[in-house]
Structure 1
Amino acid sequence: MQTNTDLSLTQSKNFTDSYINIAAYKFITLDDTEAMRSIYQQQTLALSLKGTILLTPEGINMFLSGTRENIDTFLTWVRSDARLTDLEWKESISAEQSHKRMLVKLKKEIITMRMPLIKPELGRAPSVDAHTLKRWLDAGVDDAGKPVVMMETRNAFEVDVGTFNNTLDYRIDKFTEFPAVAAAHKDELEGKTVVTFCTGGIRCEKAAIHMKEIGYDSVYQLDGGILKYFEEVGGEHYTGDCFVFDYRTALNPKLEPTETVQCFVCRAVVTPRQQLAPEYVYEVSCPHCYQKS
C-alpha cells in the first residue's frame, strides 16, 4: 500500500517549484492546547508554513501549505507526539501557498456541532473507502444489495460548487442544523444504506455517529471525504468541483485549482460564468451582493 509520504513524493516529482497543501485531523483528547499553541506557532513560523491549525479538547485539525521539505519536516515533528503518531493527511499541489497567513487557534470543537456526547475518539461510525464507494455507486447498491444514498453534511454554498450525483442536500447553512435534519428524514431512508460525506472527513465522521445513535440502521462515512475520493478514484459519480477554505476556493477532481472564486465583499462563491456579469467587479461587488451594496 502506498503511504502518504510515498504518494507525496510521487506527486511532486515534476513540481519542484510548487507548494504542498495538506489537510489533516484527528479526534483525540488534548488537555494542553494552550501550551501546544505557542509550540505550534514557533514550529510553523520556523518552517515558513501558512494556513490554519485548530487545537481543541476533542482533537486537532489543520490546513497547511509549504515546500515539500518543510511540510515533511513538520509532519515528522507532529507525529513525534505519542497522541498523533498515526495522524493521516491528504495532499494537493499548487503554484502558490494556498493560504496567506499562519493562524493557530484554540476552539471548543474541531467542527461545531454542539453535541457533546458525540466523541469520535471513543469509536468511529462505520466508514467506506473511496474504491468501495465507487463500486457501490456503479452498481447502485451496497454489498448487501441495499440501495445506496449519498447525504451531504456541508453547507449549501459549498454544495453549490459541486457534489455527488443524486445526493441528498438539505440546504443547511451551518453544521449545527444537521442533527435535526437527520432526525426529520430518518423514516424515509429506512431500508437504504446512507453514506455521509464532506470535504475532508470531519463533518461526516460526527454526522454518521449521530445518525447511528438516533436509529439509522445502515449508515457509513466516506473515509477521507471528497478530497480523498478525488485522490483515489477521480471524479466519477461527482459533478462539479469541491469547495475548499483557502485562496484556491475550489479544486477539480484532479485536485487542481479552478477559476471559481469567492467575492471579496460578501464571500459568496462566484463561478467563472458569473464573473462575466457586469455586477462582478473585483473586490467591489458580485452578482450575489450587487443590489445590497
Structure 2
Amino acid sequence: MIQITNIAAYKFVSLDNLEERRLALLAQAQVNALKGTVLLTPEGINLFLAGTKEHIDVFLDWLRADPAFVDLEVKFSLSQDVPFKKMLVKIKREIIRMNHPTIRPEAGRAPAVDAQTAARWITEGHDDAGRPIVLLDTRNDFEVDAGTFVGAMHWNLTKFTEFPQAVLDHKDELAGKTIISFCTGGIRCEKAAIFMGEVGVENVYQLDGGILKYFEETGGVGYQGNCFVFDERRTLDPALQPQPLA
C-alpha cells in the first residue's frame, strides 16, 4: 500500500494578486493529485495537503520557487489514506481570524522557543532564568478536550476572536512567569504571543511550529492525550499517528 505524506505549513507574508495565485496553486495541486485545503490571504498562506511523497516534493519545489515562499517551513506526517475528500484553494481576509489588524507577524515575530528547549523547560519546570513556566493553550475548547500539555492554562475559548479579551481578563495571572503560547501548527500562538506582548505581558514565547512540530521533534514530552487536526484523521497521537476521538 502506498503511504500518504501529509504536510502542514504557513507563512505570514504580504500577498497580492490573490485570484491569480489561487488558480495557479489549484492547478499545480491538481496536476500532482493532491487533496486538502490552501488558504490565501493578504497576510499570508496556510496549507494542509496530502498525496504521495513524490507529488508533495514536486509541489513544494514549485511553491518555493516563488520568492514569497522560498523559506516556507513544512511539518510532515504519514497516513495510510488521504484524509481529505477534495482539493480547495480559498481566499480569506486572515489566515486565522483575530479581528486585530494591527497584529502583523510579518512585521516582526514574537520570540519563539524551539521544541527541544521547550521540552527541557517543561521537564525542569522553569526557564533558563529560573522563572516558572506557564503553558498557554490558545486553541478552542473542543481541541483542548482532545489533549493538551499537563497543567496547561486555557480559557475555554469557543473561537480565537475571544482570545484578546481573555488575555486582558487574566493578565495578572501571567505576571512574573515565562509564557509559552501554543497551538496546533503555530499560527494562532504566533498571533497570540504578539498580542500579549503589545498589551504588556512580559516574557512571552510562541512554541515554534506548534504541537505538531513538538510531536515531531520530542515525541510529546509533557503532553497528555492527542492533538486535534482539521481533517478526517481527527486527532494525532505524539507519534503523529491518527487516533479516533474518545
TM-score bracket, normalised by the shorter chain, equals over 0.9
Match of 1:60 in 2: 45
* Residue number in structure 1 paired with 2:140: 155
Asked if 1:134 is matched to 2:115, the reply is no
Tell me whether 1:251 sits opposite 2:217 in the alignment. Answer: no
**How far apart are residue 259 of structure 1 and its match?**
2.0
Q: What secondary structure sits across from 1:186 in the alignment?
A: helix
Which residue of structure 2 lines up, in the alignment, with residue 268 of structure 1? none
| 1:172 aligned onto 2:157 | yes
CA distance in 2, matches of 1:122, 1:159: 30
- Select the residue among 242, 254, 257 that pairs with 2:227: 242
Q: Which has the higher contact order (CA 8 A, sep 6+)?
A: 2
Structure 2 residue ranges without an equivalent (≥5): none
- Name the TM-score, length of structure 1 as normaliser: 0.83
TM-score normalized by structure 2?
A: 0.99
Q: Distance in 1 between matches of 2:118 and 2:29?
A: 36
Pairwise CA RMSD: 0.7
Q: Give unmatched runs, 5+ long, in structure 1.
A: 1-15, 261-270, 272-293
The SS at the match of 2:242 is coil
Aligned to 2:57: 72
Counting only pairs closer than 5 Å after superposition, residues 104-119 of structure 1 correspond to structure 2 as: 104-119=89-104
**Distance between the aligned counterparts of 1:188 and 1:89, measured in 2?**
34
* Residue aligned with 1:188, SS: helix
Counterparts of 1:188 and 1:21, CA distance in 2: 38
Aligned residues: 246
Give the Cα–Cα distance (whole angstroms) in 2 for the partners of residues 186 and 144 of structure 1: 21
Cross-structure match for 1:276: none
Map residues 221-232 of structure 1 onto 2, 5 A cutoff: 221-232=206-217
How far, CA to CA, are the matches of 1:102 and 1:191 in structure 2?
46
Specify the alignment match of 1:120 in structure 2. Answer: 105
Larger deviation, residues 39-48 vs 154-163: 39-48
The alignment status of 1:18 with 2:3, answered yes or no, reads yes
After superposition, the C-alpha distances for 1:216-237 in whole angstroms (9 at most, x for unaligned) are 1110000000000000001220
In structure 1, the residue matched to 2:166 is: 181
Choose from 14, 30, 43 the match for 2:15.
Answer: 30
Report whether the alignment pairs 1:85 with 2:70: yes
CA–CA distance in structure 2, aligned partners of residues 167 and 129 of structure 1: 18
Paired amino acid for 1:104: V
Give per-residue Cα distances to partners, 1:231-269, cap 9 Å, x unaligned: 000122010000000000000000000122xxxxxxxxx
* Percent identical: 57
Residues 18-43 of structure 1 show CA distances to partners (whole Å, capped at 9, x for unaligned) of 10000000000001111101111111
